[in-house]
Amino acid sequence: MNSLSRRSVLSVATGGLCVASLGSFAKTVQATSNQTLDLIAKANQTSLGQAVRPFERWLYDTGSSGAVIRCRQGDRLIARLHNQLEVPTTVHWHGLRVSKGMDGVSGKFASPLVLPGETFDYQVPLRDPGTHWFHSHYDSLNQIARGLYGPLIVENFDEPVMHEQVMVLDDWTVKGTGPGAFEVDWSKLEPGLAWGHAGVKGRVLTINGSIQPRLELAFQGATRLRMLNAATGRVFRPSFENVRAWVVAMDGYTCQPFELTSSLFFGPGQRLDVLVEPMDSGRATLFLGEELFGKGTGFEFGLGVEASVSLADALHAFSPYMPLELRPDTSAHQKITLDMSEPHRDHSKGAGMVDGQWQDWSTLVDNHRYWLFNNVADNSLGPLFKGRVGETIEVEMLNNSATHHVMHFHGQHVQIKSSSSAEHEVGSFRDSITFEAWSKATIAMKLDRPGLWPLHCHILGHQVSGMFTHYEVT
C-alpha cells in the first residue's frame, strides 16, 4: 500500500489555500494565507436529531457542528469575527501560540471584548501543526455550552495522507420524559452545586452536533480520528470495540505512539489524534464512557472508505513534536506549587480568600466560590509567578480534591515531567492536563512569549467558581 506525504497532496489539491469547512462539512470556503476569513457568531435554529426538539444554538458561521478551519503550518490566519449575537463575545485560539492581544481574554489580558454589531480581526500565526480549536472566552460556560466553538486543523506537510474523521464530542443539558420530548435546558448552566462537584454535564451526547453522526473508517487500513472534547464538564473515557487504536497526538502535538486503553481520561478542551484500523469487516464501535462509570454510549462506524496506508506504516511516521524554543532547561529558574482544593469548614482563620480577605466556608458557598488555588477563590492576588522569556518554570500541581480537574495553560504548551496517574503522558507537551482525584503532576515550561496568560480549570463550572489564575512573562 503506497503512502503519499501530506505535503505532496496539499500542494496539488489546495495550491496553498486555507480551507474552512462550515457546518457538518456541508460547505467549503477557501482563503489564501494572509487573506481574511469571516467568522460570524450568530444564533440559529438547529436540531441534534429526532430525540430533541429544535432549539436556538449559537454558532460560528452555519451548521450544527460549527466551523472547521483547515490550514497549513507556516500560514497566518486572519479571522474577522462578526458579532451578530445580542451579547459581547471573543474568540480564544486554544492550543495556538498567539500574541497577548489575540488570545481572546478581555480585561487586563489585553484582548478586546467584541460588542454586539462589532467586528475584530484576529491575527493567528500557525506555527505548530496539529488538532487545535477556537471558542468563546467571554462568559465561557454559557457561550461554549451554546455552541461557540470549532476545530482548527493545522496540517503537517510531511505526515502521511490517510482518511480522516474530525469528531467534536459534546453533551447537552435537557429536560423531558424521553425521545421526542426532550428540550434543551439552559437553566442547568446557572450557579449551583454542580459547579462545586464534577461540573455541568448533559444527558444527551453528540458527535459533530448529531445524536446519530455519520462516521466512516477505512477498511483494511488506517484512519486518523481527530477528536475534540468540547463539553463544559464531562471527562470522557474513550474505548473501541473491534478496532485497533493508537494515540499519536495529544492537544495537537504528536507524541510517541501508544495503544489506547480505557484508562485514558479525555477532559474538556483536550484533543486526541488516534489512528484506528478495524480488526475485521464486523461492527466497529467507539464507546464514550465517563470517568469510572462503564463503557458508556456507543457510536458505530461505517467501513465504506478505501484505505491509502496501513496502520503499521502510518505509525512509523509519527514522532514527538518538541519545538526547540519550548524545551525546558534541565534546571528551573523557579519552582512553584499550585494546590487545587475545596474550601473546608474547619479552617480556623477562614476557608479561602476573596479580594485578599479570608472568608468562612458558608460565605464562600453562598457566593458560589467552591474551588481554591493556593487557598485563593478568585484571581485577586496577582500572578501565580512572574518570569522572563527563555526562563524555565517548574510547577508542582496537586489535586487535593475528590473530583477531576483539567488545567489549561494559555500562551504555550508545557511538558509533563512526572504524573502519579498518567505515566503514558510523561514527556509529552500539553496545553491541558487532566488530573484524577487526589493525583499530582509536575510540569516544566520554557517561557515563550510576553504577556499575562490565564491558567484555569477547563471544567468550566470550576473555572467560574474559583479555579482561575494567571502568570506573567516579560
380 and 469 fall within a common domain: yes
> So what's the pLDDT on residue 327?
97
Is 453 a residue whose pLDDT tops 60? yes
∠ at Cα 89 (85, 90), nearest 5°?
Answer: 135
The reported pLDDT for the residue numbered 409 is 98
Indicate the number of domains in the chain. Answer: 3
CA 69 to CA 7: how far, in whole Å?
Answer: 18
Does 406 score more than 70 pLDDT? yes
Residue 79 shares a structural domain with residue 180: no
Q: Mean pLDDT throughout 135-144? A: 95
Residue 43 located in a structural domain: yes
Mean of all residue pLDDT scores within the chain = 87
- Does residue 1 form part of some domain? no
Indicate whether 23 pLDDT > 50: no
Give the amino acid at 181: A
Contacts with 21 (C-beta within 8 Å, 6 or more apart), sequence order: 27, 28, 29, 67, 68, 69, 70
Residues 302 and 345 in one domain: no
Q: Is residue 89 part of a domain?
A: yes
Cα–Cα dist 208/236, whole Å: 16
- Whether residue 21 is contained in a domain is answered as yes
pLDDT at 17: 44
Find, among 234, 199, 191, 145, the residue nearest to 401 by Cα. Answer: 199
pLDDT value at residue 461: 93
Sequence length of the chain is 474
* 377 and 395 share one domain: yes
Q: Among the three residues 100, 131, 158, which one is the final residue of a domain in this structure?
A: 158
Q: Are residues 68 and 140 in the same domain?
A: yes
Instruction: Look at strands 223-229 and 163-172 and give their pairing.
Output: parallel
Residue 179's pLDDT band (cuts 50, 70, 90): low
Which pTM was predicted?
0.92
Domain assignment of residue 259, yes or no: yes
Helix (H, G, I), strand (E, B) or coil at 427: coil
Identify whether 447 is part of a domain: yes
Residue 234 has which C-alpha cell?
464531562
Q: CA quadruple 240, 9, 314, 124: dihedral positive or negative?
A: negative
Whether 57 and 123 map to the same domain: the answer is yes
Residues 265 and 328 in one domain: no
DSSP characters over 1-65? ----BHHHHHHHHTSSEEEEEETTTTEEEEEETTSEEEEEEEEEEE-S-TTB--EEEEEESSSTT
In this model, does residue 21 exceed pLDDT 80?
no
Is the pLDDT reported for residue 451 higher than 80?
Answer: yes
Residues 428 and 310 occupy one common structural domain? no
**Percent residues over pLDDT 70 in the chain:** 89
The amino acid sitting at 282 is G
Mean pLDDT of 166-174: 91
Stretch (H or E) spanning 460:
helix 460-463
Confidence of residue 212 (pLDDT cuts 50, 70, 90): confident
Let me know whether 123 and 58 are in one domain: yes
pLDDT classification of 178: cutoffs 50, 70, 90? low
In-domain check, residue 256: yes
Instruction: Please name every residue paired with 149 in a beta bridge, in sequence order, or none if there are none.
Output: 135
Domain assignment of residue 49, given as a range: 6-158
Strand 130-135 and strand 183-184: the pairing is: unpaired
CATH of the domain at 45: 2.60.40.420
Q: Are residues 120 and 216 in the same domain?
A: no
Which of 109, 141, 158 is the last residue in one of the domains?
158
Q: Would you tell me how many other CB atoms lie within 10 Å of the CB of residue 225?
A: 25
Whether residue 188 is found in the same domain as residue 281? yes
Residue finishing a domain among 125, 158, 191: 158
Residues forming a β-bridge with 46: 55
List, in sequence order, every residue forming a beta bridge with 36; answer none if it has no partner: 78
pLDDT value of residue 171? 92
- Residue 195 is classified by DSSP as G
Region 254-280: what's the mean pLDDT? 93
Of 100-104, 146-150, 193-197, 201-205, the least confident: 193-197
Residue 374 CB partners (closer than 8 Å, separation 6+): 337, 338, 339, 384
Whether residue 422 lies inside any domain: the answer is: yes
Sign of the Cα pseudo-torsion (459, 462, 467, 471, in order): positive
**Does one domain contain both 94 and 190?**
no
294, 295, 298, 301 alpha-carbon torsion, rounded to 10°: 170
